[in-house]
Structure formats: structure tokens, C-alpha cells
Structure 1
Amino acid sequence: MNAIKTKIIATIGPCTDTYDVLKKLHKAGMNVARINMSHATHKDAQNVIDLVRQINAEQSADYGPIGLLLDTQGPEIRTGVYQGDIDLKVGDIVNLTIREDLDVETSSIQINYKGLIKSVSKGSRISIDNGLINFRVLAKDNENLTCKVLDGGKLGSKRHVNLPGVRVDLPSITKKDRKDINLAIKNNISFIALSFVRSAQDIHELRAILKKNKSSAKIIAKIENQEGLDNIHEITKATDIVMVARGDLGIETDLADLPNIQRRIMYATAKWGKRSIVATHLLESMIVNPTPTRAEVTDVANAIYEGADAVMLSGETSVGKYPVQCIKMLKKIAAKTENFRTLGYEEFLSDKSDWQNIAIGARDLASRIDADGIVVVTRSGQTADVISSTKPFRMPIYAFTNNLDTFQQLSLVGGMQPHYMKSISNQASTINKIKLILRSKVRSKKSLKFVLIGGVYSASHSDSIQIIST
């Protein structure tokens, strides 16, 4: 089989939000479709949701399910709206203002955050447009900051603003986020990403909203600033999935330290047995070029060595010229890289439960008997999670579930090849059906041997390991 362990997330945008292109992305290897609510309207989002559901009905049996991920905008700070671009040159002295009731001149830049003046001090750095334009604060009054341009460029409207090292006094879940989360709940979206997570309390707040609305959506905590990094272990324990959101993280922290920060986060996810995503600038050059740089290929490989469950594309597939080629390139890099062991962070797994120990036992048994794969029978997806946390090496994992929500959510569990079965209640019948599916998936003349982990005496957790042959 050509399946890889690493899952691929593609952000859907103007160049990919059609039936034909989405179908090609899926066939090329896309596992999850991301809807970025910083840019998408509810109409845009609903279009993607409907198209993905249609494609899932047609080809999930062949290529696995496409999970849907709604990414909230979060508490963002942005510049105002201008008639044209503002040309900023290094050394210019400009005025940053929080006032809205004036005709802002070209030397003034409006910022939509009322707490800006209190948040910064003389000498503070302010970054705009993903760190491309930078300022140093020289002086301030009640409504304005006098700043020197450190890195210039053309500044357009509604550009993202970062205040490195500053705790922004904005709610973790904004009014806009709540509307977008309600859209996700209404459409039974599999994953909701919470932007700028600063503490475990942010996760608890979203969890309460989901529980109140009886939603089974998995929560993705996006780590994007120093405060989130400082609380990484508590956040990881509280959430389902962690995203290394390197765009803002590379601005809010020391850019030179970003590779080490990424490893710290990946270590935390491995320790607490949670799923992980590495995102931003993976194949950035492929927005305009048909092939990536050597550094980008190495960057993707390093994320896989660190044990990432998934890698995520942003502009590459939302506005880029080569979205399908990007998916194929990620799949090719993963296929090569997965022939080598991870850095071994999974050895620090702290979960000592019987469930997790059964999973470790299944992994080790499969290795000792040179099995053709591990079979997981799961209702909630938890057995798939504990197996995935052990990182079986060069060992395919086939997950079977009778729960459609779980089937979709397995799209983001590293190593899993998900299969939907209408019923798994009768053990003998289920195993016979699994054998037939495996025989069709793994084409071989010889008898095949698998280690199966599932629940024999319990419907709520796995309690047995078996060796099955086809």
C-alpha cells in the first residue's frame, strides 16, 4: 500500500474551493481540509463543508475520510483601512494611533486595539504584516505612539499586528469566534482550532461550549506566543491536539530559537500522549514555484522525525499555483522520511494506564513477530490514540470503527488507516470482515499476520491483544 503515517492538512481557499480540485487534493493525499475563518465567510465555509461531505460519500472508502477543521480567528489586532498602501522607509518616524474619529494621514497608522498604549513601553517592538514591517516605540501619550521604522515596506489595510512579549488583554474566544464555533457545531465539524491559546482555561472554555451543545469535536490548541509556550504542559494535558503555529510564534518569540521551541512543544505532546500538528511555511516557495527549496524539504522531514501526527499547508493550497503538487510533495517526503526512526520522544510517554500499556504491548508484540500490521477496533477513537502515541516503526495501523464521527476524526491520528464498519458488536463476525478487508488492501500471496487490539469484555476500552492471520 502507498499510505503514509503522516497526515496532511490543506487550507482551502480561492484556488481549491471547487469540487474538482478538492477531489484531486483528496486523491493526492489530503486527509484534512482546513477552513481559515480569518479569511472565510460563513458562505465560503458552508461551500467547502458541503463539497467535502459530497467527496467523502464518493471516495472515502478508497482514500480514507477527509476531516473538516474550522480554524478560529482568535483575538487578533489589525491595522485600519486605507485608500492605498502606506510606503514606510527605514528610519521614518510615524504615528501609531488608536483613534478612529480622525482622517488618518499617511504618517499615521490606525490600530484597532484600545489597549495598545497601556500594553507597550518606550523601547518596545511592534511587528506588522507577519513580521515584515517593524517599529520601535520612541514615546507615547494617551492615544498615540511615536515610532521609528526598523524594517520598512508597503503597508496595506487590515494587516495583522504582533506585540512580542506582551499579554494582549482580549478574550480568548471573541464574539466572531463564537459565531464561527456555532457554525462548526451545526455542521458537526470534526476539529475546531482555537487561536492564540494562552492557558488551559482557554481550552476549558471551549470544551464547555462544545459540551453544552453536545458536540464531539476535537479541540486543537494553537501555540502562537510566549505565554502559550510557558504553559505548554498544562495546555497539552487539557486539549486533544496541539498545533505548532509557527507564523505568529516566530514573531512573538525569538525567531532564532524557533526550531528548539518546536521541539519543546513536540516533546510535550509526546509526553502527554496528544496528537500534534506542525504548521506554517512548510512549502512556502511552492505558492509560486513548482518545486520546494532544499531547506523546506528538510524542514518537513524534521517535523516528521520529531513525531508530528500531521503537517499543515496554508497559502500553498489556499492561494498557491500548485496545490495538488504540494500535497504530492509532502506525501513523497513523508514516505522517504518514515523509513527512519523518530527522535524517540514517545519513550517519555507519561500515561501508565492499563489501556496505554496494552497499546505498548501490542506495538512490541507486532515488532517481535514481524507482523504485517496492527489492527485497531475502536468506537470512540481512544484505542487509536493510545496506539498512535507509541509510534510503531514501519508498521501500518488499520483502524476499524462503527462510529462515523470517530471515522472522520481518525483522519488526524498519525499512522491510522481508517475504515468504517456498520457494526463491530459481534467479535467473530467483525474479525472475519476485517480479514477480508485486509486481504484486499494488502495484496500478497502469502498468509498475513496482524496484531489486533480491541475490546472483548468492554465496550468502553480495549482489554485484549490477539494475533490474527488471513
Structure 2
Amino acid sequence: DIEFAKENEISFIAQSFERTADDVLALQELLGSSHQWVKIIAKIENHEGVQEAESISKVAYGLMVARGDLGIEMDIARLPRLQRQLVDTALRMGRRCVMATHLLESMVENPIPTRAEAIDVANAVYEGVDAVLLSSETSIGRRPVEVVEQLRRILEESERAPGLNFSQSLPTSDTKQNLARSAVELAERCAASGIIVVTRSGLMADLVTNCAPKDVPIFAFSNLGHTLCRLMLNRGVYAHRTSFNPNPELTIQSALEVLGEREGLVESDLLVVVSDVLSEGAVDSIQLRRAQPS
């Protein structure tokens, strides 16, 4: 499986039953240089994983709250608190967080989810997860397409609520994270229509995502396909491919044109542009721009 992931540049590997950070490091060693694009999502499914969640999150790309096995391994009464605790750990450590198992379980047989399931999915959004993962609903369920449609409707409605505005809770020692936080705060104060992130590796888009903007979408532009695929996991990120021009201004103009065509932005829309690849050398930048209508 690992060799297949390496050869085909799979975006993510979900590693089961993590107990310590050493489990992640061992998988990273097996991946070798492929670890640059094959990212590890650590599935927290047992007592040891819960206890070591913070150290695991330091070396993994993200955490998955795998509620099925976690509910078997741990006292069921503790599961709601553990879920919130694990999501908070991922957010605090600047890691992606995925919620999995028993999201719309009743739809394995039934045409619509229960009210409790709808509220459970919405609560995952309110807690700040980046993504949710279906399992039996689509693998053995009678109506896999309808399940995805129902889940999409619940998520889109829930996402109307403001984000967590997590920027003030992040570490202040990282220069690039501070740049991302400044971009988010500027966008919110100016009521910007979006944040444009020009990134090669996806790192800057990750850092902006970490801030959990209240109501500002993130438009990430990269020239690398595997970066764009990976960014599909990030909450609130809309990923677009673009070529990087030696002239930074032309790269920005290209991004603005794409947003005018695909996202329907109008000339009066204000956008914050943040990048760590536009200038030569290690120069980071934040700009304010107006959208270009299609």
C-alpha cells in the first residue's frame, strides 16, 4: 500500500491505531522523500492515542477522530468530551482535523438521516473540523449518492455560521504563521471578499487555514497538482491552478482573472493577497487588491 501511494502520488495516508509519535515517524521513514506530498493523517482510535494526541500532532499532517473504534476502546460516556478535546488539539497545533464514523449511519438503510445525525454533523462544523469522512454509509449503504447529497446540504447550511476566528490562539513564535494571521485579521477588518494565497507547497494556505477566518473564503493558487489536491482537505479553501510568472505582478493578475471568471467576484470586491513565493529570496508579502470582473 505504501509503495502504491508513493508511485501514484496519493495525497493522504490514514494511519490506524496510532499510539505514539514514533508510529508516525516510522511511516514517514518508509515514505522517504515521498513524504513531501503523501501526508499522514493519524487516526486516534485508542486510549494511548488520546493520551499522546498532542505529540502525535506535532509530526502528523492531521488527526482523524475515528469515533467507531474510539467508542469501543473508551467509555462511551467520555466520547463527546474526547471528540471536542481532540479537535481542539488539532486546531491548537495547526493541524488538519477529520471527523469520521457514524455520521449518517441510519442512511445505510433509510432515505433520510435522523435529526440527531444532522445535529451531530453540524456540531462537527461548529467545533472546527476541516472535513468529515463517510464509511459504511457509502461502502455498503443502499443510497450512497443520496448520502453524500444530504451530507453536503447539512454541511453547507452549517458553514453559514461564522468560523472560530482562531488566529489569537495560535503560537506567535512562527514568522510565517504571524504573516498568515496578519492577512486574516486585515481581511476581516476590511470586510474583504477573500484571501488569495499564492503558494507552491501549500504551507502558506495551511497557515491561513489555521487561523479559521470568521467569514472570509481562502483562494489558494499553486502550480503543482499534488498541492492543489492536498488543499482540498483544508476548511474554507478553494484551490485553483495557475502558472507562476517570473514577474510577480502577472501572477497576481492571473489569479484575479481566475476569480473573476470562476468565483463571480466583481470589481468592487476587496481581496487580501498573501504569498511567500512571489518575490526572489525569502521575502513574504501582504497586499490589498481589487477584483477583476470577468
Q: What is the TM-score normalised by the length of structure 2?
A: 0.93
Q: 1:273 aligns with which of 94, 103, 120?
A: 94
Q: Match for 1:267: what amino acid?
A: D
Matched, 1:457 2:293: no
- Greater helix content: 2
Q: 2:170 aligns with which of 344, 349, 356?
A: 349
Q: 1:382 aligns with which of 203, 226, 229?
A: 203
Distance 2:51 2:124 in 1: 21
Matched, 1:325 2:126: no
Distance 1:344 1:220 in 2: 24
Distance 2:16 2:132 in 1: 17
Larger radius of gyration: 1
Q: Counterpart of 2:3?
A: 182
2:132 aligned counterpart, secondary structure: strand
Distance 1:346 1:224 in 2: 29
Q: 2:77 aligns with which of 256, 266, 289?
A: 256
Number of residue-to-residue matches in the alignment: 290
Residue 214 and residue 310 in structure 1: after superposition, are their counterparts in 2 closer, same or farther (change >3 A)? closer
2:287 aligned counterpart, secondary structure: strand
Q: Counterpart of 2:242?
A: 421
1:412 aligned counterpart, secondary structure: coil
Q: Counterpart of 2:30?
A: 209
Name segments (4+ residues, structure 1) moved above 3 Å.
212-215, 341-347, 456-460
Question: Residues 263-302 of structure 1, C-alpha deviation per residue, up to 9 Å, x if partnerless?
Answer: 1101111111000000000011111111100010011011
Distance 2:109 2:27 in 1: 37
Please state how far the C-alpha of 1:254 moved relative to its aligned partner.
0.8
Higher relative contact order (CA 8 A, sep 6+): 1
Alignment check: 8 A CA contact 2:195 2:216 kept: yes
Distance 1:469 1:388 in 2: 22
Map 1:164-313 → 2, pairs under 5 A: 180-211=1-32, 216-313=37-134
Q: Match for 1:199: what amino acid?
A: T
Residue 370 and residue 407 in structure 1: after superposition, are their counterparts in 2 closer, same or farther (change >3 A)? same
Please state how far the C-alpha of 1:423 moved relative to its aligned partner.
2.5
Distance 2:168 2:227 in 1: 27
Residue 251 and residue 459 in structure 1: after superposition, are their counterparts in 2 closer, same or farther (change >3 A)? farther
Distance 2:9 2:266 in 1: 42
Alignment check: 8 A CA contact 1:197 1:222 kept: yes
Deviates more, 1:281-290 or 1:197-206: 281-290
Cα RMSD (Å):
1.8
2:192 aligned counterpart, secondary structure: coil
Question: Residues 447-466 of structure 1, C-alpha deviation per residue, up to 9 Å, x if partnerless?
Answer: 22100100243566x71110
Q: Match for 2:14: what amino acid?
A: A
Residue 408 and residue 213 in structure 1: after superposition, are their counterparts in 2 closer, same or farther (change >3 A)? closer
Distance 2:205 2:23 in 1: 26
Distance 1:344 1:435 in 2: 25
Segments of structure 1 that go 5 or more residues without pairing to the other structure are 1-179
Residue 211 and residue 318 in structure 1: after superposition, are their counterparts in 2 closer, same or farther (change >3 A)? same
Residue 346 and residue 315 in structure 1: after superposition, are their counterparts in 2 closer, same or farther (change >3 A)? farther
Q: Counterpart of 1:407?
A: 228
Alignment check: 8 A CA contact 2:118 2:154 kept: yes
Distance 1:469 1:447 in 2: 6
Map 1:70-85 → 2, pairs under 5 A: none
Q: Counterpart of 2:268?
A: 447
Residue 403 and residue 351 in structure 1: after superposition, are their counterparts in 2 closer, same or farther (change >3 A)? farther
Alignment check: 8 A CA contact 2:164 2:212 kept: no
Alignment check: 8 A CA contact 2:166 2:212 kept: no
Please state how far the C-alpha of 1:214 moved relative to its aligned partner.
6.4
Please state how far the C-alpha of 1:349 moved relative to its aligned partner.
2.1
Q: 1:334 aligns with which of 145, 155, 160?
A: 155
Please state how far the C-alpha of 1:395 moved relative to its aligned partner.
1.1
Residue 291 and residue 203 in structure 1: after superposition, are their counterparts in 2 closer, same or farther (change >3 A)? same
Please state how far the C-alpha of 1:209 moved relative to its aligned partner.
1.1
Distance 1:424 1:351 in 2: 32
Distance 2:75 2:167 in 1: 27
2:14 aligned counterpart, secondary structure: strand
Please state how far the C-alpha of 1:422 moved relative to its aligned partner.
3.0
Residue 303 and residue 429 in structure 1: after superposition, are their counterparts in 2 closer, same or farther (change >3 A)? same
Residue 408 and residue 424 in structure 1: after superposition, are their counterparts in 2 closer, same or farther (change >3 A)? farther
Distance 2:33 2:204 in 1: 25
Question: Residues 139-170 of structure 1, C-alpha deviation per residue, up to 9 Å, x if partnerless?
Answer: xxxxxxxxxxxxxxxxxxxxxxxxxxxxxxxx
Map 1:38-77 → 2, pairs under 5 A: none
Segments of structure 2 that go 5 or more residues without pairing to the other structure are none
Distance 1:422 1:284 in 2: 43
